[in-house]
Structure 1
Amino acid sequence: MLPSLGMNVSAKSTTGMGKAMCNPRAPAAGAPVVRSAQPVPVNGVHPSRSGNFTKPSAQVQSIAGERPTAGAPAAARPTEWLQKVIELPPYDRGCHVITRTIYNALPEINEFDVGMANLFVMHTSASLTINENASPDVPLDLNDSLDRLAPERAPYRHTDEGSDDMPAHVKSSLMGASLMLPISHGRFGMGTWQGIYLNEHRNYGGSRRIMITIQGQKRADGRKYPGSVW
């Protein structure tokens, strides 16, 4: 009886071990059973009832699509380039709104439906920026602030071209030499109170040149948008 009992016990142990070895995912004796996580309803909709659940995406409003033009869709129109250099007349030292001057010198912008425009002042003692175009006090205060940031009586090393030259270089670096502006329906995509500024940092800077580079898509119907009124 004892040998028979021993064989029966050994057979049961071997059988249990064999099942565990053949099925490595089987839980060991006494181990807690871990169940797979059940789908959690999202916004009251169960994934198993609505198919593959996708996270809602943000809605993006297309500005260029608010007033669609006739003809081929935007994706089918070629991307075109335009580059030109305009020369501005001499300005007094200070900050000046030149938005109307840029539009008058750039009638080609009326042909573009959507795009980007880069404005680059080709000098080291002048700069470009975007700021308020309504109050006449803003250009004056802006120029006064720049004078306080880069005063003429500071101990500069570069003084060969006059006391206003090195401060002009500092102001040019602070304000920047270029602007990147969006184009929408034949005009710059600026806000109502935004204007393009030329900042003249020299007492007698002379005429200034600005290189304008446009990349964009023209109207599909070949027409032009009405000229901008300033």
Structure 2
Amino acid sequence: MIQQIEFTLRAYPRGIHLVTGEVMRQLPELPEKGLLHLLIKHTSAALAVNENADPDVRHDLNVIFDRLVPENAPFYLHTDEGPDDMPSHAKSILVGPSLSLPVSRHHLNLGTWQGIYLCEFRDYGGPRKIVATIIGE
């Protein structure tokens, strides 16, 4: 069985946002076992799996990304869309646009402290489109 759906996550401000529940509400029932693949259809945001309990992790990740890829670096050529644009592209490459997650017994088989993050790297990124492909039996 292969199913594919597209849905839109609401607009989030810049930051790292736990979206596991929002993603799961958009999906049909998951198979007994299989794989869920998620792709974000944008080049200035990303998807990740990480700590889902302590919000300090999200804060610290933002600080790390902003130090790794600062705004207004003098060597950026792509600057027409504002100071957050080129850094958002670089950050999205570092994190990546997709996730492949195991499905077991009709549920995501994540670790106890793992959740799905939307990494929004723009100040005003807007709603984000996601393609979900479910493969299973």
Q: TM over 0.5, yes or no?
A: yes
Structure 2 unaligned blocks of 5 or more? none
| Structure 1 residues 7-42: Cα deviation after superposition (integer angstroms, max 9, x where no partner) | xxxxxxxxxxxxxxxxxxxxxxxxxxxxxxxxxxxx
User: Hey, what's the Cα distance between the residues in 1 that align with 2:120 and 2:21?
Assistant: 17
Residues 27-176 of structure 1: matches in 2 within 5 Å?
80-109=1-30, 112-155=31-74, 156-176=76-96
**Could you report, residue by residue, the CA deviation over 1:120-157 in whole angstroms, capped at 9, with x for unpaired residues?**
00000000101000001111111111001100021211
| Secondary structure at 2:71 match in 1 | coil
CA distance in 2, matches of 1:107, 1:133: 23
Is 2:91 the counterpart of 1:183? Answer: no
Identical residues among aligned pairs (%): 53
Deviation at 1:95, TM superposition (A): 0.2
Distance 1:107 1:118 in 2: 14
Aligned residues: 136
The structure richer in helix per residue is 1
> Secondary structure at the residue paired with 1:163?
coil
The 3-state SS of whatever aligns with 2:29 is: helix
SS in 1 for 2:49: strand
Q: Which has the higher strand share?
A: 2
Q: State the AA in 1 paired with 2:72.
A: R
Task: Answer with 1 or 2: which has the greater Rg.
Answer: 1
1:103 deviates by: 1.0
What residue in structure 1 maps to residue 134 of structure 2? Answer: 214
CA shift, 1:107, in A, is 3.2
CA distance in 1, matches of 2:28, 2:135: 15
Aligned-partner Cα distance in 2 for 1:125–1:216: 30
User: Could you say which structure has the greater relative contact order, defined with CA pairs below 8 angstroms and 6 or more residues apart?
Assistant: 2
TM-score where L is the length of structure 1: 0.58
Question: What amino acid does structure 1 have at the position aligned with 2:5?
Answer: K
Residues of 2 paired with 1:184 and 1:166: CA distance?
39
